[in-house]
């Protein structure tokens, strides 16, 4: 089954993949040995994220639920069911107290992890919310929507504080640099846009080709931007200039998601060809 997403543990050499087979799987690096499998969702799993400090993770599914899992208890410890349609993405805030979930129901829900309750709903997008990213070491959260916009929100008020316009098709992914000053967004036309957060302005626009660009990730330095493409490649760009650096070819179907490790040693890609790959050097 297609591997829809991948997340790397913040400190340990393990990763987790989300799959269309209704499960998530945790793997050891670099060998790729299977450590654990999470079963319980009733439809595909697309959202996945490790808790930044505790021993657990969150998953989001086509069954419209978000599940919280404990590695110590080796089971699901909470199921959050307030979304009305499929959940595409889940993201923990750096502090670990809050979890954001993005849904086909046009909303983002912010969950109090300790209480297992929804504390805020971000409404304003008029189509599916496909991805989100917390500004590193800040409070703001930025979302990518099929309504062709990228929006930044104040989680406390639940209001959009900034909207970035310019995409001409569904926005599929969004990512911050570690410093938090630049946002990258990808769309279904294969366009990647880089935005200056402070100036609220487009820095550059990159045409990656005729295939959709599915997700983006910056390396820790913020100098390199990796893009997951529907043509089966991961494409690397100079984040300052938009210049193409190289393409990683090897998957036999669309690359759905990717992630850099925090040490800057490797890049992991997840694909519709039912595999994930680890790239280094």
Residue 281 has pLDDT above 80, yes or no: no
Question: Would you place residue 59 in the very low, low, confident or very high pLDDT band (cuts 50, 70, 90)?
Answer: very high
Question: Would you place residue 30 in the very low, low, confident or very high pLDDT band (cuts 50, 70, 90)?
Answer: confident
Q: What is the mean pLDDT of residues 4-16?
A: 97
Q: Where are the domains of the chain?
A: 3-280
Q: In CATH, which superfamily holds the domain spanning 3-280? A: YVTN repeat-like/Quinoprotein amine dehydrogenase (2.130.10.10)
CB atoms under 10 Å from CB of 78, counted, come to 16
Token pair of 27, please?
Answer: 């793997």
- The predicted pLDDT at position 264 comes to 83
Q: What is the mean pLDDT of residues 209-224?
A: 98
- The predicted pLDDT at position 163 comes to 98
Residue 93 has pLDDT above 90, yes or no: yes
Question: Would you place residue 238 in the very low, low, confident or very high pLDDT band (cuts 50, 70, 90)?
Answer: very high
Q: From residue 118, how far is each of 41, 65, 75 by CA, in Å? A: 20, 12, 21
CA distance linking residue 102 with residue 86, whole number of Å: 9
- The predicted pLDDT at position 242 comes to 95
Q: What is the mean pLDDT of residues 252-261?
A: 98
Q: What is the mean pLDDT of residues 157-183?
A: 98
Q: How many CA atoms lie within 13 A of 54 on its CB side?
A: 18
- The predicted pLDDT at position 76 comes to 98
């Amino acid at each position: 089954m297609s591997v829809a997403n991948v997340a790397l543990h913040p400190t340990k050499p393990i990763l987790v993949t989300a799959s269309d087979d209704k499960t998530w799987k945790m793997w050891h690096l670099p060998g790729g040995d299977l450590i654990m499998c999470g079963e319980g969702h009733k439809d595909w799993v697309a959202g996945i994220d490790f808790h930044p400090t505790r021993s657990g993770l969150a998953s989001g599914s086509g069954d419209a639920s978000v599940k919280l899992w404990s590695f110590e208890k080796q089971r699901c410890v909470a199921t959050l069911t307030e979304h009305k349609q499929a959940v595409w993405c889940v993201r923990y805030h750096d502090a670990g107290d809050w979890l954001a979930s993005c849904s086909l129901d046009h909303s983002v829900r912010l969950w109090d992890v300790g209480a297992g309750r929804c504390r805020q709903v971000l409404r304003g997008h008029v189509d599916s919310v496909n991805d989100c990213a917390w500004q590193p070491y800040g409070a703001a959260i930025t979302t990518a929507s099929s309504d062709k916009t990228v929006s930044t929100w104040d989680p406390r008020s639940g209001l959009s504080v900034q909207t970035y316009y310019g995409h001409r098709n569904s926005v599929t992914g969004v990512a911050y640099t570690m410093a938090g000053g630049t946002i990258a967004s990808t769309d279904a036309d294969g366009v990647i846009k880089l935005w200056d957060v402070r100036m609220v302005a487009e820095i550059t626009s990159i045409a990656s080709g005729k295939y959709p660009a599915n997700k983006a990730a910056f390396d820790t330095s913020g100098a390199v931007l990796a893009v997951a493409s529907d043509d089966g490649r991961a494409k690397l760009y100079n984040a300052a200039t938009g210049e193409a650096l190289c393409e990683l070819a090897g998957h036999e179907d669309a690359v759905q998601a990717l992630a850099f490790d925090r040490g800057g040693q490797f890049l992991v890609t997840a694909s519709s060809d039912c595999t994930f790959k680890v790239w280094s050097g």
